[in-house]
Structure 1
Amino acid sequence: MPSEPPFATAEQVKRLLEVISQLRREMHPANPGSITLDSSFERELGFDSLARVELVQRVGTAFGIQLPDDALSRAETPRDLLQFLEQPAQPKAEIVVVPLGGSSTVAQPHDARTLTEALVWHVDNQPDRVHVLLYDEKQAVQPISYRELFEAGRMIAGGLIERGLEPGQTVALMLPTGFDYLTSFIGVMLAGCVPVPIYPPTRLSQLEEHLRRHARILSNAGTVLMITIAEAKSVAVMIRAAVDNLVMVLTPQELAGAPTNQCFPARASDLAFLQYTSGSTGDPKGVMLTHANLLANIRGMGRAINASPEDIAVSWLPLYHDMGLIGAWLGSLYHGFPLVLMSPLAFLAQPARWLQAISRHHATLSGGPNFAYELCAHKIHDRDLKDVDLSSWRFAFNGAEPVSPATVSSFTDRFAQYGFRRAALAPVYGLAESSVGLAFPPIGRGPRIDRIEKEPFATDGVAVVAATDHKNVLQIPSCGRPLPEHEIRVVGEDGKELPERQIGKLEFRGPSATHGYYRNAQATKTLFHDDWLDSGDNAYMADGEVYLTGRVKDLIIRGGRNFYPYDLEEAIGELANIRKGCVAVFASADPIHGTERLVVLAETRERSSAALDSLRQRISQTAIDIIGTPADDIVLAPAHSVLKTSSGKIRRQACRQAYERGELSGKGTEAHPLPLKLWRNTGLARIRIKYRQLTAWLYGIYAWLVLLVLALPAGGLTIALQRPALGRRIVRTAARAGVRMLKLPLAITGLEHLPTEPHVLLVNHASYLDVLLLTALLPASPGYTFTAKRELSAQPLLKALLTGLGTRFIERTDVQQSMESVDVMVYALRSGENLLVFPEGTFSREAGLKPFHLGAFIAASRAGVPVVVAALRGTRVALRDGTWLLRHTPIDFEVGLSKKPVSSGWSEVVSLSQETRRAMLLLCGEHDASP
């Protein structure tokens, strides 16, 4: 064995190994193992990237020094760390505070159709404004103006054009955060090519293996050129041999040519870049994002957080990931606020730098994954927070991985004394298929944590609000509401939209949504359900906000990186003494650290401690080879421990649940009553689900038969007679018969509040079912004349039916005709009629009370008659817009109190509308969906 470095003392070696041994015991108490100076941090000790961060910090504390940032990437054994301990301390760089932000003399590029147009707009209007303040590895700062970014980008574009690249071709970027990355990305777009960001290697010693793992992505993308670091040139031949399309591997310095004046005039529909979501495993899935997608998302997020040029952002997020690339950099580029940018390595080496930068530059916007907040809450020493002031931080987004309520509390509690406000912390939701952002909470609201009962959640998929504080409670953070012009819904296994607080698959649509995966028709096909996109996540809605409960598939997120378990399971199954096809890889929540643990469950017949230790090391090395990170826990279990379906598929979620219950200790026997019990319970659950789906489908068919049998003769008579009073009686009789035959669970309250004098009855509108139910439920005396939007009168058959019922057609958009419609309503009220009006004017599939039209309130004021507030609950669920299968679900109709207008003045009408809206919100139970 190599001797210790000549400069290291025995005391230094002893102290270093003690620090490492303590961390190893904490992470793997059941298998601490022996540690030498040449033990591999990853292969033998199982330290992932976050564990290495903790190790570097502990070593620095133990020796009273600050290790350099690259110690994280260069040190692979304790011996490597010893060398860092003996290096002379580097002088601390003096950080120059560059003035940022302030009032901008120009607006934002609202008319820009592409990202390059947005950049050119800033170059034309404020070329010398600081766009990015870049911190390098020594914490020296480099301000980059819009002009400098554009001119350097033109040089990269010139180099691409000189080498014959054509618009539409893909160019891979494998660069660390820095000036070269920013200018190369812009240069590729200016040349009309498509950037393909891929993450750079964390350690140069693994560069060849890293490139091999990315060969499938580069092949799928059809990459013709890669822009990368100089060190990658040594293995360029290898990667070019693995990727048929790749013809050049160049550094930014080699690529830069004369600044081009031939910048490609991109269109909004052109592909802006490809964001690969599945990393190096599985089928590569490159999300296609157009300029229109990106600008819609950036504008939507900007509206959600009230972004302006006066903001200042700080980001350490990697630029190969959509949250750092779009949410931080491209968002700041469009909105015109400065971005303070540092590398992820700088943050991981010293998490305090993030908060120090926010304080130093009085930043208003910043964020990161949950693990970043966890690191700050527990791994920053008080001495590193001297003079830190976080009071300027108004929006601290937490996304890209599951948000831990424990982390939310620990972070807000720890940093409240430094000016951080809990109201600034905002769990958000997004995914690459929606560019990046999809749902944001209201600014300044703070995190909303839903406390729900465990049992209904686990057995029935229902989020029941916990009535008391007890141990069987789950805490689920809200991620807010969809961005403007975007929609979210939650659907069941049958694809039908679920009521609020029922867990199902989250689907979405909107202008940010991708059109599919690049050169992957099969994956694209599974992504779309009509015009809705499958997020791959489970969730529920409550009060119009989305609550994420887990991933539908087995996507595993660690430290902000995503991967799937399939390739790793297969590779581990090939190891000697591992039962092939009997390996499960899954993520398990770590309640202590607020992160996810990567767990490998593998079946083996080995029993000796030495053989099991050897197997664990080989599995750990295989994990590093396949996904670039070791497992947190390796469970070697006897045969039949890995749970499977009847068809032989691995049941990863069931394995995870058994692991978390402590039932996979690796000490089991060949008997397996637990799998048998789980198989039985799962089979019964499937039978129940199928039975519910079948009965719902049969009920829907029955409902349509009933409606057709009753509606056709009643409607035909009404059209033929054209006598409104008689027509209303005929239709009411048919409607009441239909309600009885459908056996809908109805609850009616407040009918005694209906006045005997003429009045306007105002009801919320949620479904096509509303008119049928109101016709059946409202008393014949006093009878009601319905109002309908004028567009319906353009359909001859429908017009004949509605006129046969005496319906009053009203205009909602044309000003002159709207006033005429008010006159019609006033005349009807003064003639003794009662009007039934839906003040929203229309309805849609998403929940929420929409803005009111004022026509009914003006008419009531002018006629001097009262308005009565009423509400229907449950009709949106029973027959949601866009669906035709009626659900058998409870429906409530409640009539509230009435109010008579005092005058017909404008302020009185507006006040009456607002008061009515507040009352209707309470009655209908939905959230306020007005802008």
Structure 2
Amino acid sequence: MSEPTISGQDDALLLSVVRDLVAERYTIDRAAGTRLDSVFDRDLGLDSLAVTELFSRVEEVFAVRLPREALGTVSTPRQLLGAVHRAPARERRGPVPARRAAPAPAERTPDATATLTEALSWHARTHPDRVHLRILTEGHRSEIGYGELYSAAATVSAALLARDLRPGDAVGLMLPTGREYFTTFTGVLLAGGVPVPVYPPARPSQLAEHLRRQVRILDNARIRVLVTDPEAAGLARLTAGQVPTVRHVVTPGELTGYGEAAGAARAAGDLALLQYTSGSTGDPKGVTLTHANLLADIRAMGTAAEVSTSDVFVSWLPLYHDMGLIGVWLSGLYFAVPVAVMSPLEFLARPERWLWAIHTQHGTLSAAPNFAYELCLRRIGDADVDGLDLGSLRMLFNGAEAVNADTVLRFCDRFAAYGLRREAVAPVYGLAEACVGLTFPPVGRGPVIDRVDRERFLRTGRAVPAGDEDPNPLRFVACGRPLPGHRIRVVDSASNVLGDRREGRIEFRGPSATAGYYRNPPASRALSRHGWLDTGDLGYLDGGELYVTGRIKDLVIRAGRNLHPEELERVVGEIPGIRKGCVAVFATTAQSGGTERLVVLAETRETGAAVLDRLRERIAGAAVDLLGTPPDDIVLAPPGTVRKTSSGKIRRSATRERYEQGDMRARPRPVWWQLTRFAVRGAVPNLRRAVHLVRTGAFALWCWTTVVVVGLPTLIAVAVLPRLPARRAAAGRAARALARLTRTPVTAHGTEHL
């Protein structure tokens, strides 16, 4: 399809919008260099969140409605202008949309079931017409009932069984939020397989690294079948081609035509899900979760949140992440709670859509990580939520990453005018090793913020309450108490249990705890400590309430003080010229004789020496003001340097490794170059395997040829020759011929005794 004709007037108008955004984030000089063919990520330093903000501004200026798919395909102003010319006119927002009625309560839930497939089957038999999923996409709404979901899952199951899927085989799912994801996931379970959610590339500038990580995931999980969206099929085949165990790469449309069938029944202790961690502190590890683990956590969360069949869960969370997959969908499936889902791209493009979905769907439950609440505060204007009513919410969870006290309080204040009750906001804590949820606050309590004396906490690890007159306390958010049947404790480095308000390592135990990491015995051994599982997080308890303070691997010890990087990263990210959310603070002993050094690595588009010097001075000043000590090294690097997980968390270990390798100023390679290099690297093992197969085949052919050439005449001679001496002579000649052909030395010992 050819690009629409671009008028000079539209050209100038669009460039002015792009330049305004770049100038706000960086400098006017940097914005002045914007051209129609400038690449958003590489040339302008605009990450995915900045591009979604740009789309929103362009829609306002040109009065159009851009399709959400454009977020994944548009990478330059010229392409964006083409999308604008193809987009429909933006409709005036009509009256406030009507709210759906609360769902009718179900009589009971499948309390006696032992597996997820039993729970789905129970619902399909008990109330097949009850709506389970409401799929909300741009301009389209669809619903799926339990009976329909089970039937579609049985269709997928039959197709997988026809491809020789065996009980316990792993099936990778690289699918976007939509009907196909839900039917394929449940179909894998019904066939007796183990679903493995695989996330799409996060940023084009890091495509090669993403593909390498995906290969490690697929290889570790020993994936037999990879199911992917048609648009990502090429990328999926490129990845799967480097994994020897993959036998089929298919799209959901190919998993039909075999009728309906179910595989072997699975038991409560069988593996139900491989949930790969996001890898913020290292390579992703496959958390093994059984049906018993999942149902224990789902039931415990339901009890703590007082979930009923009259609830409605509204979510945009990605389904490859445990919070969206287990905390939202699988929990809703079990409790017969209607789940209204929308694409993460829809939320990123227009965050108000999430809040309006809560309004129209009469949502009582919803959840998001801290950054989503911050995005709503930055991006949503009063006109966007005129008439909004969030009064139906009874629990709004904040978890999956560090919960920021300031964000929580500002969100409560901002949306109180729209019916949001403060007591509905619920900061929580969990991790993949516990399925998802571990601590929840009491229903209806609201957020609790603990103000702690900064200096005493950093020096002693004691969370001494700060006085009212303290101008600069640390603030930690209470994340609740352990779920029913679970226990947590805080210990020191020698595993001694610490008392209240003493910072230490958080450990837990309970029925949802994983048995370990898939095919990773060293990591599994490190996870378990005397019957307790190590969360890798630091925190303290106060009267049974958990306060999380940071990650153990991210802790920096300097001059007798324990420094947590998150707060300094936030402060540095607010400095003009520094990319917000693209700052990593870490410690390293490289090139320092074993002494730990504090490093601040921040992304910037600035290149002028004087400007960079001023930025370093401001960063050093911020560190002194906050921590009482300057960094040992301040590195200002181009966009794309700071490593992140698929959910946007800073990968400090990976960033530190890159710092130690000394390639901070390396610019991201073009996508075509990354793909070509990845394909070439992947072709090497494939070529080795091909050569091995050819050599093996050639050897087999030579062996059979030798047998036929030597053996067949010998058999004929032995059968035809009438006398025994002649037959012996023929056999002897054949043996000598075989020895010569195979270069086998023949020696005889003891012939003198014959």
User: Normalising by structure 1, what TM-score?
Assistant: 0.60
Q: Structure 2 CA distance, aligned partners of 1:105 and 1:259? A: 30
Shift of 1:256: 2.4
SS of the equivalent of 1:374 reads helix
Q: 1:159–1:257: 8 Å Cα contact kept in structure 2?
A: yes
Provide the residue aligned with 2:65 in structure 1.
66
Shift of 1:377: 2.0
Provide the residue aligned with 2:107 in structure 1.
106
Q: 2:64–2:87: 8 Å Cα contact kept in structure 1?
A: no
Shift of 1:261: 3.4
Shift of 1:361: 1.5
Following superposition of structure 1 onto structure 2, how do residues 679-758 of structure 1 map, counting pairs within 5 Å? none
SS of the equivalent of 1:489 reads strand
> Relative to structure 1, is the Cα distance of residues 80 and 205 closer, same or farther in structure 2, using a 3 angstrom cutoff?
farther
Shift of 1:284: 3.3
Using the TM superposition, name which of 461-470 and 295-304 deviates more: 461-470
Shift of 1:27: 2.6
Shift of 1:71: 2.5
Following superposition of structure 1 onto structure 2, how do residues 760-799 of structure 1 map, counting pairs within 5 Å? none
Deviations 1:306-361 (A, max 9, x none): 00101111011011100000011000000111011111111111111111111112
Following superposition of structure 1 onto structure 2, how do residues 312-711 of structure 1 map, counting pairs within 5 Å? 312-554=312-554, 591=570, 632=582, 644=589, 651=596, 654-656=598-600, 665-666=615-616
> Relative to structure 1, is the Cα distance of residues 470 and 209 closer, same or farther in structure 2, using a 3 angstrom cutoff?
closer
Using the TM superposition, name which of 327-336 and 587-596 deviates more: 587-596
Where structure 2 has 5 or more consecutive residues not aligned to the other structure, the ranges are 557-563, 604-611, 619-623, 633-754
Q: Structure 1 CA distance, aligned partners of 2:577 and 2:325? A: 26
Provide the residue aligned with 2:116 in structure 1.
115
Whether 1:49 and 2:48 are equivalent positions in the alignment is: yes
Provide the residue aligned with 2:249 in structure 1.
249
Using the TM superposition, name which of 408-417 and 5-14 deviates more: 5-14
SS of the equivalent of 1:122 reads helix
Whether 1:24 and 2:36 are equivalent positions in the alignment is: no
Give the root-mean-square deviation of aligned CA atoms.
3.6
> Relative to structure 1, is the Cα distance of residues 252 and 509 closer, same or farther in structure 2, using a 3 angstrom cutoff?
same
Matching residue's letter, 1:655? V
Deviations 1:370-426 (A, max 9, x none): 111112222112222132111010000000111111111221111111111011001
Where structure 1 has 5 or more consecutive residues not aligned to the other structure, the ranges are 557-584, 601-629, 636-640, 669-673, 681-931
> Relative to structure 1, is the Cα distance of residues 248 and 83 closer, same or farther in structure 2, using a 3 angstrom cutoff?
same
Q: Structure 2 CA distance, aligned partners of 1:678 and 1:207? A: 34
Q: Structure 1 CA distance, aligned partners of 2:565 and 2:226? A: 33
SS of the equivalent of 2:396 reads strand
Whether 1:11 and 2:9 are equivalent positions in the alignment is: yes
> Relative to structure 1, is the Cα distance of residues 26 and 243 closer, same or farther in structure 2, using a 3 angstrom cutoff?
same
Q: 1:488–1:506: 8 Å Cα contact kept in structure 2?
A: yes
Shift of 1:597: 13
Provide the residue aligned with 1:131 in structure 2.
132
Shift of 1:539: 0.4
> Relative to structure 1, is the Cα distance of residues 596 and 190 closer, same or farther in structure 2, using a 3 angstrom cutoff?
farther
Q: Structure 1 CA distance, aligned partners of 2:496 and 2:415? A: 44
Matching residue's letter, 1:336? A
> Relative to structure 1, is the Cα distance of residues 594 and 99 closer, same or farther in structure 2, using a 3 angstrom cutoff?
farther
Shift of 1:156: 0.6
SS of the equivalent of 1:553 reads helix
> Relative to structure 1, is the Cα distance of residues 73 and 228 closer, same or farther in structure 2, using a 3 angstrom cutoff?
same
Q: Structure 2 CA distance, aligned partners of 1:485 and 1:589? A: 37
> Relative to structure 1, is the Cα distance of residues 658 and 115 closer, same or farther in structure 2, using a 3 angstrom cutoff?
closer
Q: Structure 2 CA distance, aligned partners of 1:663 and 1:205? A: 27
Shift of 1:229: 1.0
Provide the residue aligned with 2:146 in structure 1.
146
Q: Structure 1 CA distance, aligned partners of 2:529 and 2:28? A: 47
Q: 2:99–2:359: 8 Å Cα contact kept in structure 1?
A: no
Matching residue's letter, 1:169? D
Q: Structure 2 CA distance, aligned partners of 1:555 and 1:52? A: 32
> Relative to structure 1, is the Cα distance of residues 235 and 449 closer, same or farther in structure 2, using a 3 angstrom cutoff?
closer
> Relative to structure 1, is the Cα distance of residues 658 and 350 closer, same or farther in structure 2, using a 3 angstrom cutoff?
closer
> Relative to structure 1, is the Cα distance of residues 651 and 367 closer, same or farther in structure 2, using a 3 angstrom cutoff?
farther
> Relative to structure 1, is the Cα distance of residues 40 and 361 closer, same or farther in structure 2, using a 3 angstrom cutoff?
same
Q: 2:221–2:518: 8 Å Cα contact kept in structure 1?
A: yes
Q: 1:56–1:71: 8 Å Cα contact kept in structure 2?
A: no
> Relative to structure 1, is the Cα distance of residues 386 and 593 closer, same or farther in structure 2, using a 3 angstrom cutoff?
farther
Provide the residue aligned with 2:36 in structure 1.
37
Identity of aligned residues (%): 47
Shift of 1:524: 0.7
SS of the equivalent of 2:30 reads coil
Q: Structure 1 CA distance, aligned partners of 2:340 and 2:431? A: 24
Shift of 1:236: 5.0
Shift of 1:501: 0.6
Q: 2:26–2:576: 8 Å Cα contact kept in structure 1?
A: no
Q: Structure 1 CA distance, aligned partners of 2:574 and 2:328? A: 23
Provide the residue aligned with 1:776 in structure 2.
none
> Relative to structure 1, is the Cα distance of residues 598 and 262 closer, same or farther in structure 2, using a 3 angstrom cutoff?
farther
Matching residue's letter, 2:248? M
Provide the residue aligned with 1:796 in structure 2.
none
Q: Structure 1 CA distance, aligned partners of 2:581 and 2:385? A: 33
Q: 2:104–2:310: 8 Å Cα contact kept in structure 1?
A: yes
Following superposition of structure 1 onto structure 2, how do residues 858-873 of structure 1 map, counting pairs within 5 Å? none
> Relative to structure 1, is the Cα distance of residues 281 and 421 closer, same or farther in structure 2, using a 3 angstrom cutoff?
closer
> Relative to structure 1, is the Cα distance of residues 209 and 355 closer, same or farther in structure 2, using a 3 angstrom cutoff?
same
Q: Structure 1 CA distance, aligned partners of 2:107 and 2:185? A: 25
Q: Structure 1 CA distance, aligned partners of 2:529 and 2:574? A: 32
Provide the residue aligned with 1:297 in structure 2.
297
SS of the equivalent of 2:507 reads strand
Shift of 1:543: 1.7
> Relative to structure 1, is the Cα distance of residues 273 and 348 closer, same or farther in structure 2, using a 3 angstrom cutoff?
same
> Relative to structure 1, is the Cα distance of residues 471 and 65 closer, same or farther in structure 2, using a 3 angstrom cutoff?
farther
Q: 1:192–1:265: 8 Å Cα contact kept in structure 2?
A: yes
Matching residue's letter, 1:292? A
Q: Structure 2 CA distance, aligned partners of 1:379 and 1:96? A: 21
Q: 2:582–2:602: 8 Å Cα contact kept in structure 1?
A: no
Shift of 1:238: 2.7
Shift of 1:7: 3.1
Provide the residue aligned with 2:727 in structure 1.
none
Q: 2:228–2:252: 8 Å Cα contact kept in structure 1?
A: yes
Deviations 1:157-215 (A, max 9, x none): 00110111100010000000000000000000001100000112468999887544411
Provide the residue aligned with 1:85 in structure 2.
84
> Relative to structure 1, is the Cα distance of residues 241 and 388 closer, same or farther in structure 2, using a 3 angstrom cutoff?
same
Matching residue's letter, 2:123? H
Q: Structure 1 CA distance, aligned partners of 2:264 and 2:583? A: 51
Q: 2:65–2:89: 8 Å Cα contact kept in structure 1?
A: no
